[in-house]
Structure 1
């Protein structure tokens, strides 16, 4: 997000992260029974990230929220990098599978809408890079559901993966704009319409910024602003773009069936 740092997932020890994600426990240790479960630590970290952002998630702050010492958390997670992997996989568990019997367009739409909603519930997800996926059960199920939506419609495996990438990329990009806009409104105390009411009179005083010099942008910007009551509407862009991607896939599939 603009003004908010991004962080890589997959930076920790892959073996230990995967063991934690899939619940593969190391050999039992002697000593008192642990007070918490790893799932408790993950849920606490997600609460902190939801309330602020990913930078708020530190071992110290998670420990404070759980009422334990920071050192004791290393009993459950090796470090912050592995914790982020666990957090990502945990929230992926909120994504529902598309309803059985849907056509591929409806199924992909359901997948995209669910992910759009997930990014708005957990905006910190946009701070996590996606080049290395969290290799946990919920993230595997997410990818499986995405692929199942286009299974058997006439695409090869590489094309199926590319379609999923197009859809998830569109959702992520437009959700980022939506979340950034909402954050800017909160920070400035002004809606887009209120900000434009202040900016427009100033621009009107500058001839070079007028419609005579930029006729197309003036016409289109006015039409879009009136339609959205804002400089942009990421929700509209998301659904417009999704429909166009689906149209393109439909053309490709139809050509294959001739």
Structure 2
């Protein structure tokens, strides 16, 4: 079982730049994954690519799990350049730029999708920097802290889901040599059975499938529209003097006497205290 403490040490520690370094190992692994997929990456294959023995690699990284952590964070450093311009614009342009930079990253490195399996992944400095950029963009809207985190998580989750579809479609087309349009266009035997479904048949006859909308473009606009509506609602609440918890964003009932409360519960107050201490 991989040791998350070792991953943290490797991701955040100082690295040597002489001889067979961690940087060279990570870069060779990324090149191999870009060319052949994540399954092709092994300590042996990377060692062969670099002209060293497999045991030489183990002196720098304990195994493939930690190596993939390092690979993922290395390529995430590419986002900073591609998302920089949108970051200086309004919240919507900034968040849209962040989302597009994320999808572009998955397109350049399709193996990233495979590396995201599981929820307990130690983030490295580039991953945290990307998260920080998105948080900063959304925080400038004035949303409560918990909603800022939720908005960034929502957009990040949408990008990851869209990327999985894009990557899987591209992988299938490369493997079979048949495009999605060609494959579905040859399904006459299936379409003969679909006239029993009236809504589907009507949508088809009325051109619903003639010019399909791009799922990423359509979905991103709807997600951002929803966030915009949330920001408008929050602004209206503020104009009505609604008090919200500074930690989770929940509405706080006005106190009968004394100064207004900042927290909805003792738990949120303690959480705020711990955050200040850290």
Per the TM superposition, whether the score is higher than 0.5 is yes
- Output the CA distance in 2 between the equivalents of 1:19 and 1:215: 59
Aligned Cα RMSD in Å? 2.1
Aligned to 2:104: 117
Deviation, structure 1 residue 197? 3.1
- Output the CA distance in 1 between the equivalents of 2:91 and 2:121: 24
Aligned to 2:39: 55
Are the equivalent residues in 2 in contact too, given 1:119–1:126 (CA < 8 A)?
yes
Are the equivalent residues in 2 in contact too, given 1:21–1:136 (CA < 8 A)?
yes
SS, match of residue 225 in structure 1:
coil
Are the equivalent residues in 2 in contact too, given 1:108–1:146 (CA < 8 A)?
yes
Aligned to 1:169: 157
- Output the CA distance in 2 between the equivalents of 1:220 and 1:197: 17
Unaligned runs of 5+ in 2: 237-278
Deviations 1:7-42 (A, max 9, x none): xxxx622232222112346xx9xxxx9621101000
Aligned to 1:89: 73
* Structure 1 pair 130–250 and aligned structure 2 pair: CA distance change class (3 A): farther
Deviations 1:217-246 (A, max 9, x none): 233356343103xxxx6xx11121111111
Are the equivalent residues in 1 in contact too, given 2:4–2:122 (CA < 8 A)?
no
Asked whether 1:77 is paired with 2:64, we answer no
SS, match of residue 143 in structure 2:
coil
- Output the CA distance in 1 between the equivalents of 2:59 and 2:14: 14
- Output the CA distance in 2 between the equivalents of 1:221 and 1:132: 43
* Structure 1 pair 45–224 and aligned structure 2 pair: CA distance change class (3 A): farther
* Structure 1 pair 226–65 and aligned structure 2 pair: CA distance change class (3 A): same
Aligned to 2:229: 251
2:51 counterpart (67, 72, 81)? 67
- Output the CA distance in 2 between the equivalents of 1:144 and 1:226: 41
* Structure 1 pair 210–17 and aligned structure 2 pair: CA distance change class (3 A): closer
TM-score relative to the length of structure 2: 0.77
TM-score relative to the length of structure 1: 0.82
Unaligned runs of 5+ in 1: 1-10
Consecutive aligned runs of 4 or more in structure 1 exceeding 4 Å deviation: none
Are the equivalent residues in 2 in contact too, given 1:45–1:57 (CA < 8 A)?
yes
Asked whether 1:150 is paired with 2:138, we answer yes
Deviation, structure 1 residue 49? 1.0
Deviation, structure 1 residue 195? 1.9
Deviation, structure 1 residue 140? 1.1
SS, match of residue 150 in structure 1:
helix
Deviation, structure 1 residue 106? 0.3
Are the equivalent residues in 2 in contact too, given 1:85–1:134 (CA < 8 A)?
yes
* Structure 1 pair 169–130 and aligned structure 2 pair: CA distance change class (3 A): farther
Aligned to 2:9: 19
SS, match of residue 226 in structure 1:
coil
Aligned length: 231
Higher relative contact order (CA 8 A, sep 6+): 1
* Structure 1 pair 157–115 and aligned structure 2 pair: CA distance change class (3 A): same
* Structure 1 pair 74–203 and aligned structure 2 pair: CA distance change class (3 A): closer
